[in-house]
Amino acid sequence: MALELFRLDGRVALVTGATAGLGQTMAVALAGAGADIVSLGRRPGDETGDRVTGLGRRFSHICCDLAAATVTDLQDVITQVLFQMGRLDILVNNAGIIRRGPALEISEADWDEVLQVNLKALFFLSQAAARQMVQQGGGKIINIASMLSFQGGVRVPAYTAAKSGLAGLTHALANEWARHNVNVNAIAPGYMATDNTAALRADAGRNQAILERIPAGRWGVPGDLSGVVIFLASPASDYMHGAIVPVDGGWLSR
């Protein structure tokens, strides 16, 4: 009976940045729990679609460049989801970009693009999704935060500002939308073995320093997020609002 709390049958999830990496893994995990999936990104989501449909779930992809998307574009995304799937129950705000460089040298263009994708577009997509969820009687919004939602980092000032802002936004939206049965929570992945961290893992000294700081003694892999995203998308988390859940191998506890 308890396992039924984690089932997502009949629900529709919109996952941004689901064509590869963490987003693809989370989309497939949600499909495995019973959800139909809409992927949003700049590139076609054929591989993700094959994996989702292979699980017997419906799949659709919406092409959208969050770096250039207007508020109207993001509202139109939700309209397309409703047209294609009939409802929207879960939004996973996974898409994000990072620009590395010293704070003394970061350009305005890099700053604006990171804040646009990681924070502004995320807010207005969440706003449009929540309007629909309120009408339906509830829903789940899951933001993908970061260790830099808690820490300052080095050479990533725009990313740190965006992810710190995302943590505050998660709290703020939870405060307003909980009474509508819309749960807003976040997952904060630790150091994950993805394309975004390839340069760090290739640097022997930096890689060793990171591993020494992680109590689990290894880099995370995308599958480490599967259980927590299903939990936050499911009825099992109905009384969770405004939580930021680290999945970091113990990094923050060190």
The per-residue pLDDT for 36 is 99
Distance CA(50)–CA(4), nearest Å, equals 26
The per-residue pLDDT for 1 is 62
Asked whether residue 234 is domain-assigned, the answer is yes
The per-residue pLDDT for 98 is 94
Asked whether residue 60 is domain-assigned, the answer is yes
> Which of 5, 61, 6, 57 has its CA nearest to residue 31?
57
List the catalytic residues: 159
The per-residue pLDDT for 4 is 95
User: Angle, nearest 10°, between helix axes 121-136 and 157-177?
Assistant: 20
Asked whether residue 46 is domain-assigned, the answer is yes
CATH number, domain containing residue 231:
3.40.50.720
Asked whether residue 204 is domain-assigned, the answer is no
Asked whether residue 252 is domain-assigned, the answer is no
Asked whether residue 100 is domain-assigned, the answer is yes
Full domain range(s) for residue 55 = 2-194+223-247
CB 96 within 8 A of CB 17: yes
Distance CA(123)–CA(133), nearest Å, equals 15
- List average pLDDT for each run of 10 residues in the chain, which is 254 residues long: 92 97 98 98 94 98 98 98 98 97 98 98 98 98 98 96 98 98 99 90 95 98 98 98 98 96
Asked whether residue 103 is domain-assigned, the answer is yes
Distance CA(209)–CA(228), nearest Å, equals 27
Asked whether residue 210 is domain-assigned, the answer is no
Count of domains forming the chain: 1
Measured in degrees and rounded to the nearest 5, phi and psi for residue 219 equal: -70, 150
CB 166 within 8 A of CB 188: no
